[in-house]
Amino acid sequence: MITVNTGDSPELEAFLAQRIYEHNAAVTGYNDAESFTASHQREGGGIDAGISGYTWGGCCYVSYLWVAQAFRRIGIGGELLDAVERHARSKRCRLIVVGSHTFQAPDFYARRGYQPVARIDDYPVGHADIFFTKRLEFQRTMKPHDIEVFESEPGGMSVLPTPSRALARLLAFAIPPAAIALAARADEPRLVTRAGYASILSDLTTPADGSGNADVTIVEWFDYDCPFCRRTHPHLKEALRTDSKIRILYKEWPVFGEVSAYAAQSALAANFQGKYLQAHDALISTPESITDKAHVNATLQAAGIDMARLSRDREAHAAEIAAILTRSNEEAAQLGLKGTPGFLIGRQFVPRSLDLSQLRQLIVYARAPQ
């Protein structure tokens, strides 16, 4: 006779888990299952956020990811997932799998490059469960001049292999159910290493605005044809106007094609006549998209740029301009920037547009002891 009992039965669960795992290992040849946990803890020892899962057979499964309500939308969720992805790579995992109900955080995973592969409707009734996968690319061999950009282990977080009686039970399912309580963003701030930060600031060819005695430096990667860059520009100008201790480094990063590249080259060429900021402000403040090179030239001429000299400087300094654009592109690639704008505020990297209140809050964080 079969009786279904409610409640936990640790001994039976452990027995079934072990038998299933033995079968899976015998059939696949993979006997390397290892669970992990990571947590973000405050100084008093309380846990603000955590993640758990396991690696097995070249794959990584995220079982649980949770962030306390008071600590959401400040980057902790992204740090946890980034840490687990690094851990998975260290285990030579090629694939990572995670599930999220529609009332949890499917958009968070989608924005972080996870692709939906399965959907179970009415689980629970009136909702759905979505499963995502992400192919993990191993880090390329770094050239001598490359920098390790992000902190290897965010503050208060570690990834630890831990025994788990639920591990083998979870491995029994092709796509095991997940319990994920998280509402966060894929574009959360991340902390770059001190070496990476110093390397980016060491480029003396980067045009700058603001205080020569700043205690906070903002670096922006942008494209003149990016609507989000144009939207953020007034907020940057207001931050400069109201805060005498910040400066901005402008990293020209034209990603929208030939006209964008021409605009970036022209702005950098204007620097040789001491008018980069005039050129930059004019191009980034256009009310609509820059349509062609004639549009760029007309905008710069209206801003008071000497167009004859600009043409000469663009040709005479072509190699220097190209080197600046190449460095910006390499930095954007190392940071994992997928589009414009991107900001480095102190050591905080934010790959999205910002409003004035967000800028000011990040400046406050940058001034805090680290």
| Residue that terminates a domain, selected from 138, 164, 185 | 185
Q: Please tell me the pTM assigned to this model.
A: 0.54
173 and 36 assigned to the same domain:
yes
pLDDT (tens digit per residue) in 263-318: 999 999 999 999 999 999 999 999 888 889 999 999 999 999 999 999 999 999 99
Average pLDDT taken over every residue of the chain:
83
137 and 219 assigned to the same domain:
no
Residue 331 has pLDDT above 50, yes or no: yes
Residue 359 has pLDDT above 80, yes or no: yes
Tokens representing 55 are: 């690696």
Lowest mean pLDDT among 141-150, 306-315, 345-354, 359-368: 141-150
212 and 175 assigned to the same domain:
no
Lowest mean pLDDT among 65-74, 157-166, 284-293: 157-166
Closest CA to 223 of 146, 284, 135, 297: 284
Assigned domain for 42 exists: yes
Total H helices, total E strands in the chain? 12, 14
Instruction: State which residues form the domain around 152.
Output: 31-185
Q: Are strands 95-101 and 348-350 parallel, antiparallel or unpaired?
A: unpaired
Task: Say if residues 187 and 352 touch (Cβ distance below 8 Å).
Answer: yes
174 and 202 assigned to the same domain:
no
- Separation of alpha carbons 338 and 341, rounded Å: 9
141 and 200 assigned to the same domain:
no
Assigned domain for 69 exists: yes
Compare 127 and 142 and report the one with higher pLDDT: 127
| Residue that terminates a domain, selected from 156, 185, 214 | 185
pLDDT level of residue 61 (50, 70, 90 thresholds) = very high
pLDDT of residue 26: 83
What DSSP string describes 161-212? Answer: EE--HHHHHHHTSSS---EEE----TT--EEBPHHHHHHHHT-TTS-EEE-T
199 and 111 assigned to the same domain:
no
pLDDT of residue 171: 37
- Separation of alpha carbons 31 and 25, rounded Å: 5
pLDDT level of residue 219 (50, 70, 90 thresholds) = very high
Tell me which residue has tokens 């201790």: 245
pLDDT of residue 185: 39
